Amino acid sequence: MPELVRDQGLVLRLQDQAETDRRVSLLSESRGRLELLVKGARRLERPFGAVLDLLNLVEVIYYRRRSGLHLLREATLIQDFPGIRQDLERLEAALLVLRWAWELVPREAPDPRAFRLTLGFLYALEKSASPRVLLAAYRLRLLSTLGYRPALHGCVACGKGEGLFWVPERGGLVCGECGGAGPEIPLRLRKAMDGLLRLPLGALLRLRLAPSDLEEIERLTLAFREAQLVR
Ligand SMILES: [Zn+2]
């Protein structure tokens, strides 16, 4: 008999599978990204009610199988984040949070930090007036949690603190003498990114950044992810 396991997780993605089944991707507390098969899901009228909707925090009981997808047996709703669903800007940010988690968190990884980080950000988004700031912080922190923390405190080669450029493939800031080039990264932007990485969530909710700075931070973060994770 396959082992029966209980876990909790956030619903990251739903896909139809074969004729009548559905595949559910969860960001789980105990096993990183978890892929479950819901047998006969599409034959049933609203299988498990609306429990397995995108974004929901659910408790699941499933059969672990050695290969292929594990089999879902039961799912119970813990939290459905109504404050996010009622606000388009929050919802857009939350869907990008889910997408980053789905793309980056390894499958069957026993590290609970990505789950805790993501859940904490969704609770913060529930009442946030600045979802874009939270999204920018989440992206930097998820990368850090997974072992890709950008160097923001000076040149990665010599430690120099000014005249710095963004060189994602070398891990962050690099000065001109050590090979950095392109547009210089102003101190204001470096401080903002450092705050996004390190401030407690309560302080993040009060942080105000100019839209143009947020756009630039998003661009730098995407370039960093691209260089560090796609090789
Ligand atoms: Zn240098």
Determine the distance separating the centroid of ligand 1 and the alpha carbon of 209, expressed in angstroms. Answer: 28
Name 31's Cβ contacts closer than 8 Å, sequence gap at least 6.
7, 108, 109, 110
The per-residue pLDDT for 39 is 86
Determine the distance separating the centroid of ligand 1 and the alpha carbon of 165, expressed in angstroms. Answer: 10
User: What distance in Å separates the CA atoms of residue 51 and residue 53, rounded to the nearest whole number?
Assistant: 6
The per-residue pLDDT for 123 is 97
Q: Which of 48-52, 61-65, 102-106, 142-146 has the lowest mean pLDDT?
A: 48-52
The per-residue pLDDT for 41 is 74
Percent of the chain with pLDDT over 70: 96
Determine the distance separating the centroid of ligand 1 and the alpha carbon of 162, expressed in angstroms. Answer: 9
pLDDT confidence tier of residue 47, bands split at 50, 70 and 90: low
User: What distance in Å separates the CA atoms of residue 200 and residue 67, rounded to the nearest whole number?
Assistant: 40
> Given a cut of 80, is residue 44 above it in pLDDT?
no
Determine the distance separating the centroid of ligand 1 and the alpha carbon of 177, expressed in angstroms. Answer: 6
Residue-wise pLDDT tens digits, 136-158: 999 999 999 999 999 999 999 99
Determine the distance separating the centroid of ligand 1 and the alpha carbon of 8, expressed in angstroms. Answer: 45
Residue-wise pLDDT tens digits, 175-228: 999 999 999 999 999 999 999 999 999 999 899 999 999 999 999 999 999 999
The per-residue pLDDT for 48 is 66
Burial zone of 138 (CB within 10 Å; 0-12 exposed, 13-18 middle, 19+ buried): buried
pLDDT confidence tier of residue 94, bands split at 50, 70 and 90: very high
Tokens of 75: 């799912």
Determine the distance separating the centroid of ligand 1 and the alpha carbon of 110, expressed in angstroms. Answer: 37
Query: What is the CA 56 to chain-centroid distance, rounded?
Result: 15
Determine the distance separating the centroid of ligand 1 and the alpha carbon of 174, expressed in angstroms. Answer: 5
Q: Which CATH class is domain 82-229?
A: mainly alpha
> Given a cut of 70, is residue 54 above it in pLDDT?
yes
Beta-strand pair 57-64/70-79: antiparallel
Determine the distance separating the centroid of ligand 1 and the alpha carbon of 152, expressed in angstroms. Answer: 13
- Classified by CATH at the fold level, domain 3-79 comes out as OB fold (Dihydrolipoamide Acetyltransferase, E2P) (2.40.50)
pLDDT confidence tier of residue 45, bands split at 50, 70 and 90: low
> Given a cut of 60, is residue 46 above it in pLDDT?
no
User: What distance in Å separates the CA atoms of residue 225 and residue 150, rounded to the nearest whole number?
Assistant: 10
Determine the distance separating the centroid of ligand 1 and the alpha carbon of 122, expressed in angstroms. Answer: 38
Give kind and range of the element (H or E) at residue 221. helix 211-229
Helices (DSSP H) in 105-149: which residue ranges? 113-125, 131-145
Determine the distance separating the centroid of ligand 1 and the alpha carbon of 187, expressed in angstroms. Answer: 16
Determine the distance separating the centroid of ligand 1 and the alpha carbon of 228, expressed in angstroms. Answer: 20
* Domain ranges across the chain: 3-79, 82-229
- pTM score: 0.94
